[in-house]
Amino acid sequence: MLGHGLQMAQASNVTLKIDSSKVPIFEEGLNYADMRLIPGGTKKNAEFVEPHIAYCESVKKPLRWLLADAQTSGGLLICVDKAKSDQLLKMLHTRGIEVAAIIGEIEKYQGKSIYIK
């Protein structure tokens, strides 16, 4: 997710503010990350995005790895006007997308492409 987010933020010259507590995560994934069972691609992704991200201290390394996980089947982020976000969520859920959530917001560029709390 962070790789996709970084590309979006840099292309648009904005900062993504992400609330990590709102990101849907498989509990098993976090358990594996806690055991340091991380794919090599994920570690490379995390290293690549690290200089462009500001993390709150409360976001520990296992969660950082999961947010940079390389095992995706495509784009994970959709940006939409805040006034339309609830409508989009409802539409996604109606069409069978069970796991969809509002995880943050976009602001003017603030020195880092992504801030994660």
User: With contact defined as beta carbons under 8 Å apart, do 71 and 44 qualify?
Assistant: no
How many domains are contained in the chain?
1
Q: Please report, as a single letter, which amino acid is at residue 3.
A: G
The Cα–Cα gap between 115 and 39 comes to 24
Mean pLDDT for 16-27 is: 93
**Helix, coil or strand: residue 90:** helix
CATH number at residue 86: 3.90.650.10
The pLDDT tens digits for 24-75 are 988 898 999 999 999 898 899 999 999 999 999 999 999 999 999 887 655 5
Query: For residue 16, what pLDDT is reported?
Result: 97
User: With contact defined as beta carbons under 8 Å apart, do 29 and 56 qualify?
Assistant: no
Residue 53 domain boundaries = 2-116
Packing angle, helices 2-12 and 40-49, rounded to 10: 30
Mean pLDDT for the chain? 92
The Cα–Cα gap between 77 and 117 comes to 17
DSSP state of 79: -
